[in-house]
Amino acid sequence: MVRLILGLAGLSLADDEKMAWAVSLRFEGQPFHLHDWKNSSWTIRWSPDDDGGDQRAERLVRRIRNAAHEVDKVLQHHFRSDVDVERVYLHSTYGKISNVYWLFRERVDETAIEIEQRPEASDADHWTTQFEHELKRQLDSRERLAIDGYAMVGFYYSGLESLFDVIYALSEERPCSFSEFAAMTWAEKFKAPFNITDPPVKKHYDELLDLKRQFRDPILHGLGKELRFLLPVPDLGLVPLSYENLTRSVHYTPSIADDVWVRRAASAFDAFDGWLRETEPYQYALMFAEAGFPVPLIEQRADCIRASMTSVDDFAAWIEAEHRGAQYLRDRYQ
């Protein structure tokens, strides 16, 4: 239809126009038309006179997918040499992870406000009834805050892992190869770009590491290891390996008590994010991560990006220009 309308108007499609990305072929003796649309979608059309067109099209799709699978294996083998010498970019994940973090963070904040609010008492209710209602409301709210908080904390630390990759890639002096960096522990990755002998940095490091070890890791790793062991003792029943765990470990505290951990974590996250946004060069890495661009391990590209880090306003303008260029390419070719 597009070609027909343009033809009537005396126009034609350019070779690089996405509407022109189509191919006609014969499969099992019948004509088919494959058209590549936007967002990686395809359409396959066939003659209405072909009674077996549906089944034939399904076989054609399988044939194309099998061929594409073989091509993909060849390309992976070909590109592996580029990966080995780190002549690659990293897919940006920070924005996706951060969006989920903020979804749960907003829930936590809303519930925290709800907990502090005191509903108006009803004269018709006895004070004991009012007390029971308020107690139930408090317990339900605190449990909901803790449950949303588990997800909030987990996604924040996932986002930090992605941010560490950006900071590494944009560092003027990378401490090691990326494969070595990727194999580091969380603590080692933190220490690679940050000077923890600086008192403010040390304070953030200690708090984030303690939250990770005491709260995030046990929850996200299934509340396992020795802390979960219960030993049968005659006349007493089951007792924990260490009684200190009953009060210190999230293994044994009820969810309503974990809201204290969640509030502490939210405060620590805000403090560290605020410090990042005010401190060079990490503020630029955070801006780059939030922009969602592929993360360059290629030194020349990293050098070009660093050259734009002359001020927050200059870098924001560079990001906006990059977004416009990327949008032009998406509009034209996807």
Q: What is the pLDDT of residues 185-240, one digit of tens each?
A: 999 999 999 999 999 999 999 999 999 988 888 877 766 566 677 778 887 777 77
Residue 129 identity: T
pLDDT at 87 over 70: yes
Distance CA 319, CA 334 (A): 21
> Which residues, other chains included, contact 161 with Cβ-Cβ below 8 Å and sequence gap of 6+?
186, 189
Choice among 21-35, 91-105, 292-306 with the minimum mean pLDDT: 21-35
pLDDT in the model for residue 168: 95
pLDDT in the model for residue 276: 96
List the beta bridge partners of residue 230.
240
Instruction: Read off φ and ψ for residue 212, nearest 5 degrees.
Output: -65, -45
pLDDT in the model for residue 160: 95
Averaged pLDDT, 303-327:
93
Banded pLDDT at 111 (limits 50, 70, 90): very high
pLDDT in the model for residue 184: 95
Distance CA 45, CA 179 (A): 46
For residues 295 and 224, the model is more confident at 295
pLDDT in the model for residue 219: 79
- Please provide the distance, in angstroms rounded to a whole number, between the alpha carbons at the two ends of the chain: 20
Choice among 15-24, 52-61, 71-80 with the minimum mean pLDDT: 15-24
Distance CA 153, CA 222 (A): 15
Instruction: Read off φ and ψ for residue 120, nearest 5 degrees.
Output: -70, 135
Q: How many CB atoms lie within 10 A of CB 141?
A: 19
CA 82 to chain centre: 25
Instruction: Locate 214 and state its tokens.
Output: 């005491």
pLDDT in the model for residue 125: 60
Banded pLDDT at 271 (limits 50, 70, 90): very high
What is the three-state SS of the chain? CHHHHHHHCCCCCCCCCHHHCEEEEEECCEEEEEEECCCCCEEEEECCCCCCHHHHHHHHHHHHHHHHHHHHHHHHHHHHHHHHCCCCEECCCHHHHHHHHHHHHHHHHHHHHHHHCCCCCCCCCCHHHHHHHHHHHHHHHHHHHHHHHHHHHHHHHHHHHHHHHHHHHHCCCCCCCHHHHHCCCHHHHHHCCCCCCCHHHHHHHHHHHHHHHHHHHHHHCCCCCHHHCEEEECCCEEEECCCCHHHHCCCCCCHHHCHHHHHHHHHHHHHHHHHHHHCCCHHHHHHHHHHCCCEECCHHHHHHHHHCCCCHHHHHHHHHHHHHHHHHHHHHHC
Where are the domains positioned within the chain?
18-82, 92-333
pLDDT in the model for residue 217: 84
Q: How many CB atoms lie within 10 A of CB 107?
A: 17
Banded pLDDT at 254 (limits 50, 70, 90): low
Q: Whole-number mean pLDDT of the chain?
A: 84
pTM: 0.78
pLDDT in the model for residue 71: 87
Averaged pLDDT, 168-196:
93
pLDDT in the model for residue 323: 92
CB 262 within 8 A of CB 146: yes
pLDDT at 44 over 90: no
pLDDT at 112 over 80: yes
pLDDT in the model for residue 17: 60
